[in-house]
Structure 1
Amino acid sequence: MHRCSSLTSLPKELENLTSLTILYINGCSRLTSLSNELGNFKFLTILNISNCYSLISLLYELCYLTSLTTLNIRGCKNLMSLPNEFCNLTSLTTLNMRGCENLISLPNELGNFISLTTLNMNGCSSLTSLPNELGNFTSLTTLNMNGCSNLTSLPTELGHLTSLTTLNMNEYFSLTSLTNQLDNLTSLTTLYMNRCSRLISLPNELETFQSLTIFDISDYYSLTTLLNELDYLTSLTTLNMNGCSSLILLLNELSNLTSLTTLNIREYKNLTSLLNELDNLTSLTILDINRCFSFTSLSNKLANLKSLTIFDISYCFNLISLPNELSNLTSLTTLNINGCIRLTSLPNELDNFKSLTIFDIGYCFNFILLPNKLNNLTSLTTLNMRGYKSLTSLPKEFGNFTSLTTLNINSYKKLLLMLLFDITDK
């Protein structure tokens, strides 16, 4: 009964289907209540009543569905509470409550879901606390609490979830501190903590997260320093620190993260240079430092990042020059220096970028001359040169870009005519 938007009640005939194992009544936006007879579906394993916007309560008869393994009430935004009788659903492995924005509390009896492996509370923004019984979910591997913006604290019992591999606690705007809740979560591989805007420090227990591969602390506005324990995260492959605008120092411990493939430090306003220690990150494939407005220079040792495929330094307004060693990054497929308004030239050895497909040099206002070797970038498919003021000529070999599919030199008609003439001439 998918998206039966005119349905206001379940058909009475449904009660005869007692052998049902799967029932979807999702998207029935005018459905205000469920049938009492649902409790007769003893064999039901999957019940999906997501996006039933008008549903304001769940019947206690649901507690008779003792074979249920998956319950999806995603998007039931007018649902305010769950019945205490839910405690009988001991076979439940997946509970999705995403977007139940008016759900104000969870019953303590939820702790009986000892088989639960996945719990999604994303966007349950009216929750102000979690029951201590959450600690009974010892089989839980994935916990999504993203957008539970009114939670001011986490239960200590969260530390009992020793099977947890993925924890998402983004947008915890009211959370001010983490004590010892996370120290036992040694199986964690993925931890999202972005936009926890009032937290001023990272968990002290970072050194216990030996299995962590993805760590996201983007938009951690009040974070001022990184802990020494960060260097214990030797399995880390992705580190996102975008928008940590109060962060004063990138500690040398980053150099120990030799498994790192993705490093995002976008909008890190206090970053003035790329530390030499990053040259140890030889597995790095993506480096994003765009909008680091105080950034002035790149280390020559950047050349050691031989695996780098995507490098974004756009809108680094105070970057004055690019080291010639940049041309050693021969695996680059994307290079973005858009908006680096103080740059006056590119390295002459650009022809080493044989794999480059996307090159964005838009709004580099002070470029006067482009190197002739630019035409050797024969793999280039996208070139952005929008917004030039000082550039007066293009290399005549520019017409060699035979793989080019997108070219943007908008607003500069003279350059456009020159380029079109050159290509036509070829």
Structure 2
Amino acid sequence: KISKKARYASYTSYYDGIKRFEVLGDAECLRTFLPFTSFLLFHLACRYITSYVFCDLLPKLKCLRVLCLSNYVMYELPDSIGDLKHLRYLDLSYTRIRRLPKSVGTLYNLQVMLLKKCQYLEELLVNMGNMINLRHLDITGANWKLKEMPQQMGKLTNLQTLSDFVVGEGSGSSSIRELGNLQQLRGSLSISRLENVTDAGDASDVNLKYKQGIKELSLKWKDDLIYMPIEVIYSVNAGIDTDHVLGFLQPHLELEKLTIEGYAGRRFPTWLGDGSFSRMVFLRLKGCRNCKSLPPLGQLPSLKDLEIEWMRGVEQVGPEFYGEGCLKPFPSLENLTFRHMEEWKDWFSFGVDQNEVIQPFTRLSKLRICNCSKLVGKLPNHLPSLKQLVTDNCPQLVIALPSSGMLRNFNDYGSLSILSIKDVPIHASLCIPDHVADEVVLANAASNHLKSVTELCVENIPKLTSLPLWFIQGLTGLELLIIENCGELASLWPNEVQLQHHLLALRRLEILCCPQLFCLFEGKEEELRPCLRRLEYLQIQECEKLPRDLHALSFLGELMISDCPTLVSFPKTGLPSSLRTLEISECRALESLTEGLLHSNSIEVLDVKRCPSLTSLSSTVAIPPTLKVLRISNCENLESIVDEGLKINSPLDIVDIWGCKDLKSLPDGPHNLSELRMGECDNIESLPEGWLSATSLRKLEISECRKLDALPMPNHAYNLTSLQQLSLKDFPG
């Protein structure tokens, strides 16, 4: 029992039944009811609470000030909650509650009500205007089904935090004017369903200019408008002065973050982009599809992050974007993103007055251009601080030749460290290594412009059969190279390329979805070794076969092979002798690892998953003598690890075998295991005595091995003094 004078009750929570709370029955002076939950359970698990708490316990706790029921699977509160007249803090976040009982509106002392991520919430209290002491109302992520705010919200003059305000539809609904009386608002405010504002004068009454405590502001029209055709948007907004609505919602000059979504006006108000907003660091424009030009955002002196997306009306990003007479547009901008600009064709990178020196984007470090299908031409010329460039699905944004050299889109990108090129065509002369003279010219240019790049992703580049000389010579500092969805790629480097002095820094290479790849280098193997002497990690995924010269990577430490459906066996030349980790998964035709293990005398970790055609790891070659960790899972047809007569002569430390239904026996050999896990191996009948004789065995888990009669009882079974974890489940022995 807990003392009757107890004031605070906190408890760890998962499934909370009656017995947990019966001890609180006499603690009528309790003021705090607060569950504690681990981060993992809070985000991944459903939590349940007994009805005893609502029906029997809470009605007794008349002195309760703090009540937290967040993340419980609950759909409603009892009316008796209104009897907790002293309640000041109520947290119902992450519950499935649909509506609050009217009695909550009589909790006149309530100061904090949290309804974050209550995604089933359909309405708030009709009588919420009576809760005059309410200071914080958080409904972040709870406005999916919420159609409007209750009327008389303007009476909550003590309100300091209001995460969202949903404008109602029709004369009898909540008006945006209710916000006018809430002078103490601060922090973040999102105003949504602005298409319901039919009188621009109502927006003027909000007086956002004078609410200087608000640091983050989101102004949102109906989400559906973002994806509607422009002519439909015109009809939806017929008779609504949308331009003036946004004009009257001008915030104060100290605002730091601004988002405008679904705005249906034809032009932006003059305040947007005004340099007087000296503290604005973040701006997002999304789905303003009637606007044909962007506001002069280059005039914002502190702007660091700018996102522009779904602006269908914009065809050109020109001088107006930088600002009239602005010599140094975007002086603080670090991250710039354009997405889904369906009609965008031209990006003018010059300034307003061509007779003056205009230097925009001097601090830009990350540029992303995605799904801009009509964008043609080149990127801005001078981006001295750019570190990451991502182009995705921009089929007409060509990496092209200038008048006599190449790589004009990389001119003056001396700080570029991460480059991602996706769905961007490269000129045919750059993809086919037949133009030796052009290759030399471009290689010299690339050596200056790409030397700072450390990570490169090349994805879905048509007609790319190999990486040409200009590509290799410039990337002297490259550490990570990812090549994906290049359907015509046959080799990484053609025969003409001399590799000895290139790619010396490359550590990780990932080749994904390149079905035509048959080798890394068309030249002599001895030329491949010195250039990739730092390569430590290689991933090959969704390729028809393994490169024939794989064994030449004499410094490779990790090799990951996955989703290669036609791979039957490894190349006869084997794998690199330096290999320490080999992981193979989802290779459904693979029958044996014999060739792969032939010269692999350094492998320490072997992990094989979901290879249903595999019957044995090796038929003629023993397991590498250096192997320490062996994991095999979901290889249904695996009958043996090695063929009969072969032993495992290696210092195996960990063995994990799971879901190998045809496995019948294990070979002799290991005597120093520290962990053995085996499960769902329906046909295994016995374990060799040596597998369980190790004095170092710390963990033993056997599950669902239904033919395993009994565990061996070696003479030295009493030496299993290190065993810390034992789990035996569902096997007859």
TM-score by length of 2: 0.46
- CA deviations 1:73-106 (Å, max 9, x no partner) are 442735545253x555333211134526356662
Cα contact 2:204–2:249 (8 A) shared by 1 = no
CA shift in 2, pair 1:415/1:216, >3 Å: farther
Cα contact 1:134–1:158 (8 A) shared by 2 = yes
Residue 422 of structure 2 is aligned to residue 362 of structure 1 = yes
- CA deviations 1:300-349 (Å, max 9, x no partner) are 457542211122344555555437x72x3221011234424352345369
Structure 2 residue aligned with 1:94: 136
Structure 2 residue aligned with 1:388: 462
SS where residue 411 of structure 1 aligns? coil
Aligned partner of 1:285 among 334, 352, 376: 334
Once the two structures are TM-superposed, the CA of residue 139 in structure 1 deviates from its matched residue by: 1.5
Aligned partner of 1:238 among 274, 277, 282: 282
Aligned partner of 2:396 among 314, 317, 341: 341
Aligned partner of 1:169 among 219, 234, 237: 219
Distance 1:143 1:120 in 2: 6
Distance 1:299 1:250 in 2: 14
Matched AA of 2:282: T
Residue 386 of structure 2 is aligned to residue 332 of structure 1 = yes
CA shift in 2, pair 1:349/1:303, >3 Å: farther
Higher-Rg structure is 2
Aligned partner of 2:103 among 40, 60, 67: 60
Cα contact 2:465–2:488 (8 A) shared by 1 = no
Distance 1:349 1:294 in 2: 18
Distance 2:168 2:302 in 1: 36
Matched AA of 2:423: Y
Structure 1 residue aligned with 2:291: 247
Distance 2:338 2:388 in 1: 14
Aligned partner of 1:49 among 70, 88, 92: 92
Cα contact 1:258–1:280 (8 A) shared by 2 = no
Distance 2:80 2:321 in 1: 65
Deviates more, 1:149-158 or 1:274-283: 149-158
Once the two structures are TM-superposed, the CA of residue 156 in structure 1 deviates from its matched residue by: 6.0
CA shift in 2, pair 1:411/1:26, >3 Å: same
Once the two structures are TM-superposed, the CA of residue 24 in structure 1 deviates from its matched residue by: 1.0
Aligned partner of 1:312 among 365, 368, 373: 368
Deviates more, 1:18-27 or 1:340-349: 340-349
Structure 2 residue aligned with 1:178: none
Residue 97 of structure 2 is aligned to residue 82 of structure 1 = no
Structure 1 residue aligned with 2:112: 70
Aligned partner of 2:158 among 115, 121, 126: 115
Percent identity of equivalent pairs = 16
Cα contact 2:282–2:305 (8 A) shared by 1 = yes
Matched AA of 1:141: R
Distance 1:397 1:52 in 2: 57
Matched AA of 1:12: D
Matched AA of 2:89: I
CA shift in 2, pair 1:161/1:82, >3 Å: farther
Structure 1 residue aligned with 2:500: none
TM-score by length of 1: 0.74
Structure 2 residue aligned with 1:299: 349
- CA deviations 1:327-372 (Å, max 9, x no partner) are x322101123442435234536948534323212233324232732
Once the two structures are TM-superposed, the CA of residue 5 in structure 1 deviates from its matched residue by: 3.3
SS where residue 416 of structure 1 aligns? strand
- CA deviations 1:246-270 (Å, max 9, x no partner) are 322346x445334333343444443
Matched AA of 1:96: D
CA shift in 2, pair 1:152/1:160, >3 Å: closer
Distance 1:27 1:258 in 2: 42
Aligned partner of 1:225 among 267, 278, 296: 267
CA shift in 2, pair 1:268/1:378, >3 Å: same
Structure 2 residue aligned with 1:411: 487
CA shift in 2, pair 1:126/1:225, >3 Å: closer
SS where residue 360 of structure 1 aligns? strand
Cα contact 1:57–1:79 (8 A) shared by 2 = no
Cα contact 2:105–2:125 (8 A) shared by 1 = no
Structure 2 residue aligned with 1:138: 183
Cα contact 1:212–1:233 (8 A) shared by 2 = no
Structure 2 residue aligned with 1:183: none
Once the two structures are TM-superposed, the CA of residue 280 in structure 1 deviates from its matched residue by: 2.7
SS where residue 204 of structure 1 aligns? helix
Aligned residues: 397
Cα contact 2:68–2:90 (8 A) shared by 1 = yes
Cα contact 1:365–1:390 (8 A) shared by 2 = no
SS where residue 217 of structure 1 aligns? strand
Distance 1:156 1:349 in 2: 46
- CA deviations 1:204-232 (Å, max 9, x no partner) are 34777433343333443x33223444453
Once the two structures are TM-superposed, the CA of residue 394 in structure 1 deviates from its matched residue by: 1.0
Cα contact 1:79–1:102 (8 A) shared by 2 = yes
Structure 2 residue aligned with 1:13: 57
Residue 67 of structure 2 is aligned to residue 23 of structure 1 = yes
Once the two structures are TM-superposed, the CA of residue 115 in structure 1 deviates from its matched residue by: 1.4
Cα contact 1:223–1:247 (8 A) shared by 2 = yes
Distance 1:214 1:309 in 2: 20
CA shift in 2, pair 1:257/1:26, >3 Å: closer
Once the two structures are TM-superposed, the CA of residue 117 in structure 1 deviates from its matched residue by: 0.5
Distance 1:215 1:82 in 2: 29
Distance 2:121 2:297 in 1: 46
Structure 2 residue aligned with 1:420: 520
Distance 2:90 2:137 in 1: 10
Cα contact 1:120–1:144 (8 A) shared by 2 = yes
Distance 2:125 2:273 in 1: 43
Matched AA of 1:380: T
Distance 1:208 1:399 in 2: 47
Matched AA of 1:120: S
- CA deviations 1:369-393 (Å, max 9, x no partner) are 2732445434422322432226765
CA shift in 2, pair 1:124/1:4, >3 Å: farther
Distance 1:423 1:19 in 2: 77
Cα contact 1:303–1:329 (8 A) shared by 2 = no
Once the two structures are TM-superposed, the CA of residue 244 in structure 1 deviates from its matched residue by: 3.2
Which structure is higher in RCO with an 8 Å CA cutoff and minimum separation 6? Answer: 1
Distance 1:383 1:65 in 2: 59
Q: Which sections of structure 1, spanning at least 5 residues, go unmatched?
A: 176-196
CA shift in 2, pair 1:261/1:130, >3 Å: same
Residue 439 of structure 2 is aligned to residue 397 of structure 1 = no
Distance 2:92 2:410 in 1: 57
